[in-house]
Chain A
């Protein structure tokens, strides 16, 4: 086991615990729970094995679902977003830079923020679609996804940049 694998697994567990025990209890305005664990999926190195990443995305959602008594919405949302990650990267960074060394060390700030936005929005939209799962709740889905995305981004952005500067 090299250091990167250990790092990945430790951050996996840390984000899992953070999400379940802290951020799922926030209940801002009664129903908003920012989803911090998305950062784990964002910070995963760009050039690593995508298949392995799919399993990681699946399991982090799965464990969060198991521990916080939600149905399967986290699983589906994080699985989908980890499957779509190469596509989102391509959209945010352009086709040329498909495999930058690491997301953290990438210098283009605007692209990073765009990527963050896309990633979190996709994740939250999938999550709320699964939660409501009905055409009648269309507005609820959109508004829930947007508002929660807003708070998630507020939390995720500084952490993401801090971890970069600390390096």
Chain B
């Protein structure tokens, strides 16, 4: 206590100066509306910049939460986006039933590779989150793979970078079919097989998923044609495609569930 009093006595002049200054500023603002206005502006400026500062800090700490919210929204928009593509194939079906058989869930990629000829990915969603085997996994701009096996919290995915995985594709402009297979070296370079040479193709045409499998809906953009050779002897094109995204550098994916998969499988089995 003594110390505080000593300090007060020692610094009495600055303290008195500040007190009198506050009083004179109040006096000033009470007598002149111009100064009052100016001081209010100044106060507003200071408080707003302080609020700005604190809100930027708050935002930083909320980033994770915001990320999750955005991810949820993204998932919803992704499913809507896929739905928009659907009428191209399921025209009549949609008109009569107004249904779209695919559901979208988000997932984080926790292991990814491209060094082997047969690569696998692990995602952090499992049976707890409703992931089942043989569901498709897509990314923002492409396809990631197909779920192979599921544990309680994780699932392993056959990567698109797997030499035995063939994905049904179609060209956006010409409606020619084919299958997309990894060549095994560059993670962005793929071959497209089984495209009949009678169809008209150009370099740079966009490739999308074909919708002829139960894994992926129609219209997910994959890449574009980078090399084009018409082999007249075999009757098929030799095509090379370049993906929009490098599948080995993906951290976020969406698992898509086909609600009518069982029905389709059942029919398939019947055929065999």
Contact = CB atoms under 8 A, between A and B. Distances in A.
B contacts with A: majority SS: helix
A1 B32 CA distance: 38
A64 to B, nearest CB: 12
Contact of B20 (A54, A65, A134): A54
B27 A65 contact: yes
A127 to B, nearest CB: 12
B38 A134 contact: yes
A86 to B, nearest CB: 9
Interface stretch (A27-35, A75-83, A92-100, A144-152): A75-83
B86 to A, nearest CB: 61
Contacts, number: 53
B21 A76 contact: yes
Contacts of A134: 38
B21 A72 contact: no
B259 interface: no
Nearest to A133: B38
A62 interface: yes
A48 interface: no
Nearest to A61: B24
B13 A75 contact: no
B31 interface: yes
Given A50-B13, A51-B12, A134-B38, A72 B27 contact: yes
B37 to A, nearest CB: 10
Interface in A128-146: 130, 133-134
A138 B21 CA distance: 22
B212 interface: no
Interface in A42-64: 50-51, 54-55, 58, 61-62
A89 interface: no
Interface in B11-60: 12-14, 16-17, 20-21, 24-25, 27-29, 31-32, 34-35, 38
Contacts of B20: 54-55, 58, 79
Interface of B: 12-14, 16-17, 20-21, 24-25, 27-29, 31-32, 34-35, 38
